[in-house]
Amino acid sequence: MATSQDREFKLTLRNWLFNRLNEETYGDALKWDGNNKGVFHILWTKKGDPNWENHFQIFVGWAKHKDRFDCNSPINYDKLKSNFRNLIKKTTDFEEIENVRNQQTGNRKVYRFRSKEEIKAIKKLQSPKDSSPDSATSQDSQDTVEEMESVLPELSIHDTDMFLPQEQLNEGDMNISVQAAGQQQSNVEGGGNSITFSEFLAGLNIDCEDLPKFTITVQYKNKVVVPETACNLAHGIRLFHGNLVEQNAIAESVGLKSVVQQLANCPTLELPVSEDRLVQRVLNELGLGIVFLTNEQAHALSAMRFGRSHLYCTFYGSHALQKVDRTTDQEIKFKEIFNYQEQIRAMLENHEDPGKRTSPCEIICLIGSRKNIISVTIRPVISDTLTDGLFFSSQMLSISHEASLDRVMSFMKGSFNGSFDNSQPSVEQFQMN
């Protein structure tokens, strides 16, 4: 017999939120809308706002519930909030009915629990008349909550069908759209190219607005010197060391004035001094530094280096290193080191190897040499969501492991109607910061 602790761990977001609301776990940050227990509020503040850390505890709590919270690492609040937002936005269990902006009480989002009938209608999508989520009344929502209250004391893993459609019972917390996954299955099996890359990502619970968002961690000889830092690489990031003004002046004196001007508006991340002689030597040879920048649609990430210190990068879930050549002329030249389409393909190819499935979605950059003197780890904010969503949807697409993988690979090679952006980044993007 499952213990209460086991049952709590198995709860989906819908059931977990319902419990937290009834227990008033997060106070004003998560609360019912008065006496209407079909509607609830989530405070949706930003980092730096008053009491923001208290408001963000709901995102921390969900990560801990799903055992995705590392107590030994600095808390990446942006990532936790993004993961939560992606999930609640894509699941069919909730309808966002209001987005309130109030400087005094704090911004908040208002959601409604959808009824079992609404969810089934949305999943089936038989006709516009039958599938409209807006046709439900507040009484439907209240009835659903009453059903939940009646079964909650006796809740077991198999009791979730009291308020979840059958299609959702085994999907964990991802609640991926059956319609989107079904469309992907049709395209894969038929070799069609009818969906866009954005639609493909939507089927994996991923918001395209999060594609250019990455975290960067820097280590000197395996010791963290720059903790995990959130960056929007649509605007780029320039890693440098030393006096930037002096470096720009030297670059201009040797004929690189146009390059300096192009880099003027690029956000920067300073690498600290090291007591280790070898590390410091590599830092001193960075010159104008290293720049990471996504292309316009944020489908790919590229790198550029000016200094004598070499740069090697691994990606696509592989341990192979690729060298980024030094730019020495008047024009900034980037080398692609990562793109989402190739990453997804590599993850699918490795999908039967549990050892490669744990954290494949990251780029390791080694500066100076291949011996891990200075390492930069770049990880997409959507990494966990992509991993979970991709393997869930690949199981839905599978007829047999071997046959379906061939179909998926064929689909990936010619998919998305040209909607996947393979272009090089443009320095004009720096002006957007």
Using one digit for the tens of pLDDT, what is the confidence trace for 247-302? Answer: 778 777 767 777 777 777 788 999 999 999 999 999 999 888 899 998 877 788 99
Mean pLDDT calculated for residue range 80-96: 86
How does 273-288 read in b/e, with b if 16+ C-beta sit within 10 Å? ebeeeebeebbeebbb
pLDDT of residue 154: 33
Could you tell me the pLDDT band of residue 120, with boundaries at 50, 70 and 90? confident
Same domain, 302 and 412: yes
Helix (H) or strand (E) holding 220: strand 213-220
How large is the angle between the packed helices 13-23 and 57-65, nearest 10 degrees?
Answer: 130
The CA distance from 136 to 115, in Å, is 8
**Picking from 122-136, 218-232, 260-274, which range would have the lowest pLDDT averaged per residue?**
122-136
Single out the residue in 125, 149, 175 at which a domain terminates. 175
Q: Please say if the pLDDT value at position 28 is more than 60.
A: yes
Beta bridge partners of 338: 301
Q: Which residue has better confidence, 381 or 319?
A: 381
The CA distance from 44 to 35, in Å, is 21
Q: Which letter does DSSP use for residue 50 in this model? A: T
Could you tell me the pLDDT band of residue 312, with boundaries at 50, 70 and 90? very high
Same domain, 30 and 159: yes
The pair of structure tokens assigned to 21 is 């609301």
Q: What CATH number corresponds to the domain at position 49?
A: 1.10.10.10
Q: What CATH number corresponds to the domain at position 379?
A: 2.60.200.10
Instruction: Tell me the CA end-to-end span of the chain in Å, nearest whole number.
Output: 56
What does R_g of the chain's alpha carbons equal in angstroms? 24
Give a yes or no: residue 399 inside a domain.
yes
Single out the residue in 153, 175, 197 at which a domain terminates. 175
Q: Please say if the pLDDT value at position 17 is more than 70.
A: yes
Same domain, 153 and 231: no
Q: Please say if the pLDDT value at position 184 is more than 70.
A: no
Same domain, 169 and 259: no
Give a yes or no: residue 66 inside a domain.
yes
Query: Which residue type occupies 358?
Result: T
pLDDT of residue 343: 83
Q: Residue 141 phi/psi, 5° resolution?
A: -65, -40
Q: Please say if the pLDDT value at position 217 is more than 80.
A: yes
Give a yes or no: residue 251 inside a domain.
yes
Domain that residue 128 falls in: 4-175
Could you tell me the pLDDT band of residue 330, with boundaries at 50, 70 and 90? low
Same domain, 135 and 249: no
Give a yes or no: residue 204 inside a domain.
no
The pair of structure tokens assigned to 294 is 């996504």
The CA distance from 266 to 164, in Å, is 48
Alpha carbon 31 to chain centroid, angstroms: 26
Mean pLDDT calculated for residue range 157-179: 35
- With tokens 């959808």, the residue in question is 114
Q: Are strands 237-240 and 268-270 parallel, antiparallel or unpaired?
A: parallel
Give a yes or no: residue 195 inside a domain.
no
Give a yes or no: residue 196 inside a domain.
no
Give a yes or no: residue 197 inside a domain.
no
Same domain, 171 and 215: no
Q: Please say if the pLDDT value at position 422 is more than 80.
A: no
Using one digit for the tens of pLDDT, what is the confidence trace for 368-408? Answer: 988 889 999 999 998 888 877 766 554 444 433 444 445 55
Give a yes or no: residue 199 inside a domain.
no
Q: Are 386 and 338 in contact, with CB atoms under 8 Å apart?
A: no
